Structure formats: C-alpha cells, structure tokens
C-alpha cells in the first residue's frame, strides 16, 4: 500500500530545519577526518561529513567546509589549505569515534587538535600535513580546486590522492581492495549525535532480461 507523502520547500522552512532534513536523507555519509598544517607549521585536525570520492582517474576526493554562520569566518582547515594546498583525509574507525568528536570542537587558531584529543601523528611522505598514526587508512592529497558553493556558506575542496596508506591487515591484494567491514568506519546520519557502523554485507543480483529475436 502506498503511504501518503509530505512535501517541504526549503525556503519556507525555519532555519536550520532544511539542513537537518537533508543530512538525515543523504545518509549514511562517510567522514573525512582532515589533517592540515598552517604556513607556520601548526597542524590542524577536523572531521567533515560532506565528503565523497568524485573521480577514479586520477583518484580525487572532495569535502565541504562551511564558514561559521553567526560570525562569518574561515575555519582553520580552509585557511591552511589555501596557504599550503595540501591535506590528508584519515578514516575514522569505531575505536577513534570519541577522539574524532573532540576534534570537532572549535579551538582557537594555532591550537593543535592532535594534542587536544591525545592523538599521535606521523609524518606524511608527499605532503606537509601529518596523518593520524592509528588511522586504518589515510590519503595524502594535493588540492586541485576550491569551489565556493553559490548561495551557501560552504566551500568545496577537491584533492587529488597522491598516496594511499592502508593498514596491512586490511588490504586484499587479490582484489586490490580494502576490507571495508574489517576497517570498521563510522558514518554520519542526521542530527548532531547520530552515527552508525557498517551493517550487513550483501551483493544484489541482476536479473537477466530476455533478448528480443
């Protein structure tokens, strides 16, 4: 039986209702735990759930940074990226969820979230920002585009992956894949405190259509 539908017009909804509705619909969303470094050499770390892969050749990812709305101001991540043109996207696994939340707090510029969250960093190979030592996967990236989102307080950052770091036990050499279930990534849902884990793994079956003739 068809259920009745409700319709919403974003322009007619009170703020921030459109944001909450959107983020509960476009879900689950992967989390880019982005590490950057300032021109002065101070590292920064922050999570972003407006994030995804956008190209495979060359491998390219994107994440979206929003300005502070009440006091329009660049976040440290965007500021650092504009200065250095580099970042590292680290995967957040279940064991690091609490530390990730600590780095979501807006600290004053110049304070290292690595230190505030008690996270060990390790030097990257091809870029200046460090990566999280215990992250199961990390991708060193060079910024290729910074695109303001028209009419929004967001800026989309695209980066080309220069190097993948994959924990040895997660790599499946026979397929060239990561064991995503074993990686145990957490993903974002709607609301400020709703996250989820990887659920049941399944493979859809394509029905064979009969050929004419």
Confidence class for position 210, pLDDT limits 50, 70, 90: low
Give the span between the Cα atoms of 130 and 120, in whole angstroms.
Answer: 10
What average pLDDT does the chain have? 94
Tell me how far apart the terminal alpha carbons of the chain are, to the nearest angstrom: 37
In a 13 Å sphere around the CA of 78, the CA atoms on its Cβ side amount to: 21
Q: What is the DSSP-derived secondary structure letter of residue 213? A: -
- Summarize the confidence of residues 4-33 as an average pLDDT: 96
The per-residue pLDDT for 106 is: 83
Confidence class for position 97, pLDDT limits 50, 70, 90: very high
Percentage with pLDDT > 70 across the chain: 95
Tens digits of per-residue pLDDT, 47-65?
999 999 999 999 999 999 9
Give the span between the Cα atoms of 66 and 75, in whole angstroms.
Answer: 8
Question: What domains, with CATH codes, occur in the chain?
Answer: 11-196 (2.30.110.10)
The per-residue pLDDT for 67 is: 83
Mark 13-37 as b/e (b = at least 16 C-beta within 10 Å): eeeeeeeeeebeeeebbbbbbbbbb
Tens digits of per-residue pLDDT, 103-154?
998 888 878 899 999 999 999 999 999 999 999 999 999 999 999 999 999 9
């Amino acid at each position: 039986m068809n259920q009745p539908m409700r319709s919403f017009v974003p322009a007619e909804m009170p703020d921030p209702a459109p944001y909450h509705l959107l983020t509960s619909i476009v879900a689950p969303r992967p989390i880019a735990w982005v590490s950057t470094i300032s021109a002065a050499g101070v590292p920064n770390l922050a999570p972003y759930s407006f994030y995804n892969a956008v190209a495979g050749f060359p491998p390219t990812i994107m994440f979206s940074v929003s300005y502070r709305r009440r006091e329009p101001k660049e976040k440290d991540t965007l500021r650092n990226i504009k200065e250095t043109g580099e970042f590292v996207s680290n995967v957040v696994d279940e064991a690091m969820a609490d530390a990730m939340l600590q780095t979501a707090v807006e600290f004053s510029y110049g304070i290292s979230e690595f230190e505030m969250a008690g996270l060990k960093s390790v030097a990257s190979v091809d870029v200046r920002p460090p990566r999280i030592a215990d992250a199961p996967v990390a991708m060193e990236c060079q910024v290729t585009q910074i695109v303001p989102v028209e009419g929004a307080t967001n800026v989309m950052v695209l980066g080309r992956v220069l190097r993948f770091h994959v924990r040895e036990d997660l790599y499946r050499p026979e397929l060239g894949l990561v064991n995503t279930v074993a990686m145990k990534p957490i993903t974002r849902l709607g609301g400020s405190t709703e996250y989820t884990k990887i659920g049941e793994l399944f493979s859809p079956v394509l029905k064979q259509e009969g050929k004419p003739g």
